[in-house]
Amino acid sequence: MGTLQDTVRALLIPYKGILAADESDSTCAKRFDKYGIEKTPGMRRAWRELLFSTPDVSDGLSGIILYDETIRQKASTDEPFAEFLSKRGILTGIKVDQKTEPFGSAGEEVTKGLAGLPQRLAEYMTLGAKFTKWRAVIRIGTNLPTEECLLENAKRMAAYAKASQTAGLVPIVEPEVLLDGTHTLARSNTVLTETLRVTFDELKKIGVDLSGLILKSSMALPGKESGIAVTPAEVAAATLRAFTVAVPEEVPGIVFLSGGQSAEEATERLNEIVRQAKKTNAPWRITFSYSRALQDPVLQAWAGNSENTLAAQRIFQTRVQETSAASEGTYVA
168 Ramachandran zone, left/alpha/beta (phi>0; psi -120 to 50) = left
Neighbours of 164 (CB within 10 A): 29
Write down the H helix ranges in the chain.
4-11, 25-34, 41-52, 68-71, 81-86, 117-126, 147-166, 185-205, 232-246, 263-279, 292-302, 309-326
- Whole-structure pTM value: 0.97
Domain boundaries defined on the chain: 4-326
Nearest to 15 by CA among 332, 239, 331: 331
Distance CA 136, CA 37 (A): 29
Average pLDDT over residues 262-278: 97
Q: What is the pLDDT of residue 333?
A: 87
Distance CA 269, CA 240 (A): 12
- pLDDT digit string, tens, across residues 79-94: 999 999 999 999 999 9
- pLDDT digit string, tens, across residues 145-190: 999 999 999 999 999 999 999 999 999 999 999 999 999 999 999 9
Q: What is the pLDDT of residue 5?
A: 98
Mean pLDDT of the chain, nearest integer: 97
Catalytic residue annotation = 174, 216
Confidence of residue 2 (pLDDT cuts 50, 70, 90): confident
Classify domain 4-326 at the CATH class level: alpha beta
Distance CA 240, CA 273 (A): 7
Give, in order, the Cα–Cα distances in Å from 7 to each of 76, 125, 195, 223: 28, 13, 26, 35
What proportion of the chain, given as a percentage, has pLDDT over 70?
Answer: 100
In this predicted structure, which of 1-10, 122-131, 279-288 has the lowest mean pLDDT? 1-10
What proportion of the chain, given as a percentage, has pLDDT over 90?
Answer: 98
Average pLDDT over residues 252-274: 96
* Span between the terminal Cα atoms of the chain, in Å: 41
| The pLDDT of residue 1 is above 80 | no
Cβ neighbours for 102, distance < 8 A, ≥ 6 positions apart: 108, 109
Residue 171: CA count within 13 A, CB half-sphere = 27
Q: What is the pLDDT of residue 219?
A: 98
| The pLDDT of residue 248 is above 60 | yes
**Contact of 218 with 180, CB cutoff 8 Å:** no
Helix H or strand E encompassing 173:
strand 170-177
Most distant CA atoms of the chain, gap in Å: 53
